[in-house]
Structure 1
Amino acid sequence: MTKNTKIIVILIAACVLLTVIPFLVSKNADFGGADDAAGDVVAELAPDYKPWATPIAEIILGGELPGETESLLFCLQAAIGSGILFYGFGYLVARKKYSKEG
């Protein structure tokens, strides 16, 4: 096993552990978003708080986005971000590979 292979295996194992350990630590944890948690804290600290801005999508559509649309937009954002990230990785690998051969 080369040094790079060992590093990759260790990083993959760390990612798996970071994903699995939270499930093992707390059996009855809820998957709540940060927005929900922040809204609960604001409601607790200042019950009469009124938001000073309205999301643009709510202004255009006249109401909140459906949950499916929010999920779609989140997945689209994740896909675009991972595409950019892995394009960068591919570029760096190819640059290194072809600079040695050239």
Structure 2
Amino acid sequence: MKQVIDRHNLHSQNLHKFDQPSLQLQLESSTYAILSKEMADRTRELRQMKGEELQELNMEELMRLEKSLEGGLSRVVQTKGERLLNEIDALRRK
């Protein structure tokens, strides 16, 4: 009889433990929430760089986005020019 009571008490204690998430689970859940938010932010930024979802931006944010895009475009144009010059030089050497 004592063994049955002991098992019942042990089982009751274990049920209580399952009601509370483990520290590891809480940390993983927190990490997941942080990463999910970052993913959503990056996805929104990418859409805005493609010219989508701009209506929610204020003037300062639009100017920051424009400056970022101009900088990127400048690097693309510069790289393209360098490659064209390299191709022209290679053709002249032939």
Q: TM-score range by the shorter chain?
A: 0.3 to 0.5
Structure-1-length-normalised TM-score: 0.33
| Higher fraction of helix | 2
Structure-2-length-normalised TM-score: 0.36
Structure number, greater radius of gyration: 2
Indicate the structure whose relative CO is greater, using CA pairs within 8 Å and at least 6 residues apart.
2
